[in-house]
Structures are given as structure tokens and as C-alpha cells.
Amino acid sequence: MNPYNRRRRRRGWVELVLLGTRIVAVAVLAWGVFGTVIQGMNGEGPTGEAWRDLVVAGLAQGVMYGLVALGYSMVYGVLGFINFAHGEVFMSGGMVGFFVADYLWEIRLWDTNFALSITAVLISSMLTATLVAVIVERVAYRPLRTAPRMIPLITSIGIAFFLQYTFAGLFGVAVKNYPPPPDSLRSRVELLGVGVEGTKLAVIVVAVVAMAGLYLFVERTRVGRAIRAVAEDSEIAALMGIDVNRTIVATFAVGGAMAGVAATLWAMLFRGVSFIMGFLPGIKAFTAAVLGGIGNLGGAMAGGMLLGLFEGVGPQLVLAGLGIPGVSQLKDVVAFTALVLVLIFRPSGLFGERLSETDRV
């Protein structure tokens, strides 16, 4: 058998296995959803209000994944590698924001003027995350700009550990708790006849505004157009007079600012922050970026929200119907399984992977 026929036969077996996997996945998902519906008809499982709470909680968590995922997608679009230290950029904003929040709590401004206090925390988190992201680019990545892509990838993992243990050495390893939000924010708000916890609603609104602002920045401003030009072809962009180094710094800065916003929202929801708080959200944000289509900003936003919904609703919607116990503890399994399934059905992500001309070649 000649090599061409051998490759063709091997490709046929791979396609057959993928087809079988898809059929099994669809059958399992359908059986799980069917089982959950039967449980609901029998009066078992969550109530309608509980389902609404799961959806809102999933969306609130998902928009934070989306904000962090934007940093992964922007850096990948410009430099073509995954910045695995981005989760620690997120962590740095949350850690510094804690000290600002704690000071405002001590002088009693947190209770008397929460809007001003959380704005100060948000600004401090954004500035810190932006500064850390820019320093990482200048010190760790710029000297490796022309190196093979595996080298900056490995470097990003090393930078992640360096940032983790730098913050652990400076601020300790104990979990630090943000002051609680006021009771008025934690109470339920009626929205279209549905009661939504005020904190979760605030997180969703702020995150959507930040995403919309970033989209307008990239699409309408001069710096945004430069970022898109460098992402398309850095050499041609340089010939057109664009300062590539400055544009790359701007990319890291904007991604860091979005991570700072996400860190503040994370603190509002979960309150606890530590030197390792960026690891799991960072991995999930990367998952969201791949889910939506790495390098695609709209895909990163949508991928984050979908991942949050998978985590919030998926365990109860699918696993409970399959009779699996302890489904609330399996949300991480559901999230990463959803990624695998999406990539099986659509390898480029839901909205398509956006690559530069060099990557396409």
C-alpha cells in the first residue's frame, strides 16, 4: 500500500472514531436531560426559582471568565502564544484591591459610601494588574520575541509561579477576606419579574459594560486599530508606521486592566483572595478563550459566559438525570468536558479561531 492510501485509510479511521464519539456524547447528554425532565415532572430536583438562581450564578461567574479570557485572546492574537501568567495578573489585582478595601473598611468609608469605595478598589485593581502585565511583557517576553514559541510558553509558566510566590512572600499565604458588601446590595432585586441577588446583578452589569467598552476601544480607537493591524501582520503594520512594541505593550495593558476588573468582581462575589487565587480561574478563562475561538474577542466573551452556564446549570441538568451523586461538586468536570465536546464537534471553537497570515501559512 502506497503512503497516500495509508494516510487516507488512517484518516478514515480517525473520522469514524470521532463520529462514534459524537454519537455517544449526544446520546449521553440527551439521556441526562431526559432524566432531569422526568425528575422534575415527578416533583424531584430543583424548583423553578432554584433553576433561575443557577442560571444567574452561572452567568455572574461566566462574565468574569470572559473578562480574563480577553487577555488570553488579545495576547494570542498579537504574539501567537498563550500567556499562562495571565491568571496571576488577575490575582495581583485582587490582592492589592484587598488592602485598599481593608483600609476603607477601617476608616468606615466602606459602609457609608460603598459606591466610592468599590470604585477605588476597582481602579487600584486595574492599575495593579495593568502594571504587572506590562512589566511581565517588558522583562520576560520582549527578549524572547524572536525565539521559538515553545520558549515564551514555558517562560509564561515560570513567570506564573514567580508571581505567585512573590505575592505569597510579600503578603502571606493566608486567605484574605474582603469586607462584606452592604445589605442593600445583597438583597434580591426584581428584574422582569425574577428575583436576582443584587451582588450578582451588579457583577453582570459591570462586566458587560467593561466588555462593551473594550469592544468599542478595539474597533473605534486608533490604538485599537493598531492592535488589530499588528495581530493581522506585524511586519506590514511596522512598514505602515505603527510602533509594534508600543502596540504590544498596549495589548498587555488592556488585557491586564480587564483582569483587574474581573478580580474586583470576583472579590465582590466570593470575597476570599490568596496568592493562588489566579490558578483555577486562569485555567478556566483559557478554556473559555478556546471554547469561543482563541484570538477572537467576541468568542472569548461568549465562551466565558457559556462556560459559566455550563458550570452553573450543567451538573444539575445532565449529571443529576444520569443518577450521579454529588453533582454540585462536579462543576469543574462539567466545564472541561464541555470544552472537549465543543472541540470534538467544532475544533476551531464556537466562533472560529482567528489567526494571522503567518499562522495560517
Residue at 91: amino acid letter: M
Q: What pLDDT is attached to residue 265? A: 92
Q: What is the mean pLDDT of residues 271-280?
A: 89
Q: What pLDDT is attached to residue 328? A: 72
The CATH number given to 51-360 is 1.10.3470
Helix axes 222-232, 244-270, angle to 10 degrees: 110
What gap in Å lies between CA 175 and CA 359, rounded to an integer? 42
- Condensed to tens digits (0 to 9), the pLDDT of residues 48-86 reads 777 788 888 888 888 999 999 988 888 888 888 888 999
Helix axes 114-136, 150-171, angle to 10 degrees: 130
What is the helix (H) or strand (E) element at residue 230, kind and residue range? helix 222-232
Q: What pLDDT is attached to residue 252? A: 93
Q: What pLDDT is attached to residue 2? A: 54
Helix axes 331-345, 297-314, angle to 10 degrees: 130
The distance of Cα 44 from the centroid of its chain, to the nearest Å, equals 33
- Where do the structural domains in the chain lie, given as residue ranges? 51-360
pLDDT(313) > 60: yes
Q: Which residues contact 339 (CB under 8 A, 6 or more apart)?
A: 287, 290, 291, 307
For residues 21 and 5, the model is more confident at 21
Q: Which of 70-74, 241-245, 316-320 has the lowest mean pLDDT?
A: 316-320
Q: What is the DSSP string of 231-285?
A: HH-HHHHHHTT--HHHHHHHHHHHHHHHHHHHHHHHHHHH-EE-TTTTHHHHHHH
Kindly report the average pLDDT of the chain as a whole number. Answer: 83
